[in-house]
Amino acid sequence: MARVKRGLMRHKRHKKVIEKASGYFSRKSNVFKNAHEQVMTAGKYAFRDRRARKRDFRRLWIVRITAACHENGIKYSQLIHGLTSKGHEVNRKTLSELAIENPEAFAALVKSVVA
């Protein structure tokens, strides 16, 4: 059986990891072992935080809608309940943008829910 030398593939793999780690501080950017550990950790954080970002934005939209609701004299839960019972399908992102950019339209929406 022929002898297999691993130099080329090892070099390619190391180069790929070092490239991903460019910009990291100290030996994390140019020593393979440290760079590989850091790239793996960064990947875990990136995976976790792509999901967390969605939760964070939903929380932000709810806070904005709540503030606009208090200006119009209604609670957030009452607004959401009223919207679902009236059959209005407006998501929280749209409601939040409406509350910020067009308070008059948001106030009209609140009045339609209350009435």
Q: What is the pLDDT of residues 76-90, one digit of tens each?
A: 999 999 999 998 888
Assigned domain for 25 exists: yes
Q: Decide if 69 contacts 110 (C-beta within 8 A).
A: yes
Global pTM reads: 0.76
Residue 2 within any structural domain of the chain: no
Which pLDDT does position 50 carry in this prediction?
97
Whether residue 34 is contained in a domain is answered as yes
Residue 59: CATH number of its domain: 1.10.1900.20
Is residue 59 within 8 Å of residue 45, measured between CB atoms?
Answer: no
Q: What is the reported pLDDT for 6?
A: 84
Q: Provide the pLDDT for residue 115.
A: 74
Tens digits of per-residue pLDDT, 31-45?
A: 999 999 999 999 999
Query: Which of 53, 52, 76 lies closest to 64, judged by CA?
Result: 76
Domain count, the chain: 1
Q: Residue 78 domain-assigned?
A: yes
CA pair distance 107, 99, nearest whole angstrom: 8
Residue 37 φ/ψ, nearest 5 degrees: -60, -45
Residue 64 lies in a domain: yes
Selection from 69, 64, 63 nearest residue 107 by Cα: 69
The residue range of the domain holding 56 is: 8-114
Mean pLDDT of 90-113: 94
- Report residue 87: phi and psi, to 5°: 90, 15
Residue 74 lies in a domain: yes
Instruction: Please check whether residue 40 lies inside any domain of the structure.
Output: yes
Range in 1-10, 30-39, 50-59, 61-70 the model is least confident about: 1-10
